[in-house]
Structure 1
Amino acid sequence: MNVELKTLAAAAAARHKCDLLAVLVPDEVPAGEDPLSSLAARARDQQDLEKKPGSVLQVYAPEGVAARRVALVACGDGSARSVRKAVLALAAGLRHPAVQRVALVFMAPPADGAVRAAVCAADEAAYVYTATKGKAKAPAKGAKGADPGAGAPSSPDALVLGVPEAAAVRAEFDAARGLAEGIAFAREWANRPANHATPTMLGEAARELAGAPGIECTVRGPAEVAKLGMGAFLAVARGSEEPLRFIELRYCGAGKSDAPVVLVGKGITFDTGGISLKPAAEMDEMKFDMGGAASVLGVFRALAELRPAINVVGLIPACENMPDGRALKPGDVVTSMSGQTIEVLNTDAEGRLVLCDALTYAERFKPSAIIDIATLTGACVVALGGVRSGLFASDDALAAALERAGEQAQDPCWRMPLDDEYGEGLKSPFADVANVGGRPAGAVTAAKFLQRFVGETPWAHLDIAGSAWKGGAAKGATGRPVGLLVSYLLGAAAAPAAARKGSARARAAKG
C-alpha cells in the first residue's frame, strides 16, 4: 500500500476524492463551518458517535463531501495509543474490495507519536495475506450482474494521511513508513506456510535485503556450520530433509570502530517437537516458530529505509525440528559451540539449542549488546498472554531501554526475573547442563539456559511466544517485536549523536 502525507484540513478533506474518507474525531471536535466539521459536531451532539477510542459511525454520501463512504472514528484524547485503537477499528472498511483509495484525516493537530501510530495501524489493519492463495477470476468491470463490492478482502492501493500541517510531522511520517515496511515484512514471512518459508528461502530473503545500501549478508550451510563447531544447532536440524541455514546480516550505519548491536532470531521454520512429538491439535501454528527470525528480517527491512547511524548484526539459525530416524533423541548429549555439553531431556525444547550456538557466535563481534528474540516457551504465554512479550536481561540499563522502546512503539514487554536459583533445575548428571528444568517457571529456566552462553556483554532475551502471532479466527502473525526493536535501535543511534553535540557545546563554552 502506497502511503502519502498531505496537508489536508477538514474543509479540503471534504473535497478530496477517494473510496473511503476516514476522519479521526477527538473528544473536543474542532469548530468549523465545513461539511465534515459540521457532520462530526452533529454526530457527537446527538451521541451517535461515542467518545470511546475506536467507536465508528459510517455515513454514506453525506452532503457536501466528495467521498461516498465516510467513517467518523473517535480517537479520544488523540494520544498515540488512542489513535492506534481508532485506526484498527477501520479494518473491515480498509479491506473492502471496492476500496482502493483511502484518505485518513486528523481533524486536530496530531499528538507526539500519533502519526507513527496511525501509519503503522493503517498498514496493519489493511494487511491481507495473499502469497499462497489462488487467483480467483473476478467478473469483468461493468459486466451484467457484477457487484463492485464482491470478492475477497483486499488491501487498498493508496492511502493519503491528511494532517493540518504536513511539514510539522514529515520526519515522524517518514520514520513511521519505514517502520511499517519492516513490520509488514516480518508478518508476511511469519505467515507463510513452512513449505513456502524453508531455511533456504529465509536465506534468499536475507540476500535480497542485502541489495540495499549498507546491508551485507552471508548464508552458511551445514558443512560451514559444522566447521564452526555448532553441535547443538546441527543436532536439531539432522532430523529434517531441509538443510539448515545460518544467516548473518550486517547493517553498517556508523563507523567501523563502533560496536554493533547483535540481534539473534530463532528460526525454527516448522516445529513438530521432534521425537518429543507435539499434539496434533493446532500443530499447524508451529510455522510461526520462526517469529524471532522474521522479526530480525523485519528490522533489517526497516533499517534499509531509516538508515540510522548505528551498526547492527542479525543472526538467524534456521532449520526444521522433525522426527525421523536421524533425529535427536531424549537423553542424547550434544556439544555446543561454546564447548559446554547439553543433555537433551526434551527435543521440543529445541529453540534454545539453536540459539545457544548463535549466542556464542555473536560474541566474536564484540557487541555493545546482544538481544535474542524467540517464540521460546508456552510458559511465557501462560504468564503474560499476548499483550506483553517477556523480557529477561542481564543488564539493568539495557532492560530499561528496551522497556521504554516497547512503550514508545506500543509493542510492550515485561521484565521477568533471572535469579541464580532458577538455574538449579538445569543440572544434569550426564552433561554440563540439561536443556529443560521442571514445569515451574519454564520461561525463566529457558532464559537461564541461554544466559550460560553469553559472556559479560549486556544481554537481553525476548520471549515472544505469546505476542508473535494470534490464533483462532484472527490467526496470523503480528510482526512483533519489530516495533520495539527498531525503537530501541533508533534510540541507541541517537544517544551517541546527542553526546557528541553535548561535548561540542562544552568545548565551545570553554573556548
Structure 2
Amino acid sequence: MDFSIKTIDAKSASTAHKAIKTGCIVVGVYENKKLSAAAAGLDKSGDIAAALKSGDITGKAGTSLLLRKLADVAAERVLLVGLGEEAAAVSEKAYNLAVQAAARTLAGLGANDAVIALPEVKDRDLGWSIRSTVVAFRESIFRADGLKSKKDTSTSGVKKVAIAVAATDATAAKNALAQSVALANGMDLTKELGNLPPNFCTPTHLANTAKKIATDYKMVAEVLDRKQIQALKMGSFLSVTNGTVEPPKFIVLKHNGGKVKDAPVVLVGKGITFDSGGISLKAGAGMDEMKYDMGGAASVLGTMRAIGEMKLKLNVIAVIPTCENMPSGSATRPGDIVTSMSGQTIEILNTDAEGRLILCDALTYAERFKPAAVVDVATLTGACVTSLGHHNSGLFTRHDEAHDQLAAELLAAGKQTGDTAWRMPIEEAYNEQLKSNFADMANIGGPAGGSITAACFLERYTKKYTWAHLDIAGTAWKSGAAKGSTGRPVPLLTTFLINRAG
C-alpha cells in the first residue's frame, strides 16, 4: 500500500475537498448529526446531512456509510465515518476507531485510491494522526498465510492512500509519514518473525534476519556461535541450550547514526525461539504459543529495521541472545548451579525461568559499550500478564534520578503511540525471595510477585549503567481467534529512540 500527503489550500479549504478526484474520499460525521468541516464542504446536495438525519449512520465512533456519485463532488465515492460526540477536537479513541473502520471498508472496495480527510485530534499533533492512520491501514492488509498451500481469500482493495493536510503543514506531514511507514515496516517484520513456526524461526533465522537488516540499512552485524559464547564464559546463557540440537546464536547489530563519540542506547531482546520449559516441562495446552517467546528479539529487530529506514541520527546497538529451551538427557536440571559471565553463580530451581538466564549474560555483555541507557525487552513472566493483562507492558527500573528519567521517557513514548507501559516496583525487599543456600542467587523467587522478582534478578547484572526492563508477556501476541503477533512494543521503542535523537 502506498501512502502520500495531499495538501489543501487553507483559503479554499471549505470547498477544496469537492475538487479532489479520487476513488473514495473519507470524511467524518458526529453523533449529534453534525458534519465535520470536510463533510460539510462536500454536501452541496444535502445527501450527507440526509443520511445522518435518517439514521443510516449514527455518527457513533467506528460506524461507517458509503455513498456514491454525490452531486458536484469529484470523488467517485464518499465514505462517512463516525467520530463520536462533537467537540473542539476528536478524541484519540474515536479517531482510531474511525480510521480502522475506513481501513476495513476500503480493503473491500474496487477503488484504486482514496483520500483521508479527517479533523484534528484532541491534544495530539499531526504526526500522531498520520502514524495512527498508517498503522491502522497496514494492520488491515497484514496477512499471516505465507505457509498455507491455499492463501486466504482477500479482495484487491485500495492500493494508494493520501492523507489530506493543510498546505502549511506539508513539510511536517511528509516527515511524519516517512517515519510512520518505517514504523509500520518494523512492526510487520516483528509480526512476521513472531508468527513463523519454531522450525522456521530458529536462532539461525534470527541471525540471518539481523544480517539482512545490516546489509539493507548499512549497519554492522556480528553473530557469535557456541564456541565464541563459551569463550566469553556465558555459562548462564549456555545452560539453557544444553537440551537442544539447534545451535545458539548471540547477535549484535549496530546502527551508527549518531556522532562517533556519543554513547549508544542498547536494546537487549530475549530470543527463545521455542520454550518447552526444559526439564520443568510446561503443560501441553497452549505450548504452541511458546514460539512467541522470542517476541523481545523480534521487537528489537523490528525497531532496528524501522530506525534504519528512518536513518535515525542516534547510535543504537541491539544485543540478542537466542536459543531454544528443550528437554533431553543433556538438558540442565533443576538444582544445577551455573556461573554467569559476571562471575555470579545461579541455582536453577526451575528451568522454565530461562529468559532471565540468557538475558543476564547479555546485560553483562552490554557493559562493554559504555551505554547511555540499556532497555531489555522480554516475554519474561506469566505473572506480568496476571498483573497487567494484555493492555500494558510492565516497566521496571531502579528509583533514582537517572532511572526515573528513563522510565518517564519510555512511558511517554508509550502514551504517544498507544503502545502503553505501566511502571512496576523494584525494591530490595523482593530480593529476599531470590536467596539460595548454595549459590549467589536462585533463578526464581516463588509465585508471589513473580514479575517483580524476575526484574530484581536482572537488575543485579545492570549496576554499571542506566537500565530498564520491559516485560511484554501480555502484549507481544494475542491468543484465540485473533491469534498472532501484535508487533508491540516496536511503536514504544521506536518513538523512544526518535525522541532521544531529538
TM-score (norm 2): 0.89
Query: 440, 446, 457: which is aligned to 2:448?
Result: 440
2:500: which partner in 1? Answer: 492
Q: Aligned residue for 1:146?
A: none
> Cα distance, 1:81 vs. partner?
4.1
Deviations 1:427-468 (A, max 9, x none): 111111111111111100000010011123111000000011
User: Cα distance, 1:261 vs. partner?
Assistant: 0.5
The structure 2 residue matched to 1:89, chosen from 66, 91, 101, is 101
Q: In the aligned structure 1, how far is the partner of 2:227 from the partner of 2:256?
A: 28
- Unmatched runs of 5 consecutive residues or more in structure 2: none
Worse-superposed segment, 187-196 or 345-354: 187-196
Matched, 1:200 2:200: no
Q: Distance in 2 between matches of 1:36 and 1:192?
A: 51
| Correspondence 1:455 to 2:463 | yes
The answer to whether the aligner puts 1:187 opposite 2:191 as a matched pair is: yes
Is the Cα contact below 8 Å between 1:108 and 1:164 reproduced in 2?
no
After superposition, residues 10-409 of structure 1 pair within 5 angstroms as 12=17, 16-18=21-23, 21-25=25-29, 28-30=35-37, 32-35=40-43, 38-59=46-67, 70-76=78-84, 77-90=89-102, 92-96=104-108, 101-108=112-119, 112=125, 113-135=128-150, 151-152=153-154, 157-165=159-167, 167=170, 169-394=173-398, 395-409=403-417
Deviates more, 1:9-18 or 1:275-284: 9-18
Summarize the Cα distance change of 1:361–1:38 in structure 2 as closer, same or farther, 3 Å threshold: farther
Q: Distance in 1 between the 2:52 and 2:381 partners?
A: 46
Indicate if the aligned counterparts of 2:18 and 2:72 stay in contact, CA closer than 8 A.
no
The one-letter code of the counterpart of 2:134 is V
CA contact (8 A) 2:67 2:78 kept: yes
Q: Say if 1:266 and 1:95 are closer, same or farther in 2 by CA, change over 3 A.
A: farther
Deviation of 1:196 after TM superposition, in Å, equals: 1.7
**RMSD, aligned α-carbons:** 2.5
Letter of the structure 1 residue corresponding to residue 492 of structure 2: L
Deviations 1:278-306 (A, max 9, x none): 11111111111111001101111111121
Indicate conservation of the 8 Å contact 1:200/1:243, yes or no: yes
Cα distance in 2 for partners of 1:100, 1:196 equals 37
Identify if the C-alpha distance between structure 1 residues 119 and 249 changes in structure 2 by more than 3 Å, giving closer, same or farther: same
- Stretch deviating more after TM superposition (74-83 or 340-349): 74-83
TM-score using structure 1 length: 0.87
CA distance in 2, matches of 1:125, 1:263: 29
Alpha-carbon displacement from aligned partner over 1:9-65 (angstroms, at most 9, x marks no partner): 7754775343x6543446752164535995443333444433432222344666666
Structure 1 unpaired stretches of 5+ = 137-149, 495-511
- Cα separation, 2, equivalents of 1:283 and 1:60: 49
The percentage of aligned residue pairs carrying the same residue is: 47
**Aligned counterparts of 2:318 and 2:157: Cα–Cα separation in 1:** 30
* CA–CA separation in structure 2 for the residues paired with 1:24 and 1:128: 28
CA distance in structure 1 between the aligned counterparts of 2:113 and 2:410, rounded to whole angstroms = 34
**What is the CA deviation profile of residues 291-337 of structure 1, one whole-angstrom value per residue up to 9, with x for unaligned ones?**
10011011111111212221100011111111111111111111111
Aligned CA distance change for structure 1 residues 463 and 40 (closer, same or farther; 3 Å): farther
User: Secondary structure, in 3 states, of the residue corresponding to 1:411?
Assistant: coil
Partner of 1:471: 479
Matched residue of 2:199: which SS?
A: helix
Contact 1:363 1:455 in 2 (8 A): no
CA–CA separation in structure 1 for the residues paired with 2:441 and 2:315: 33
Would the alpha carbon gap of residues 48 and 463 (structure 1) be closer, same or farther in structure 2, given more than 3 Å must change? Answer: same
Indicate the residue corresponding to 1:6 in structure 2: 6
Q: Secondary structure at the match of 1:400?
A: helix
- Count matched residues: 479
The one-letter amino acid of 2:498's match is L
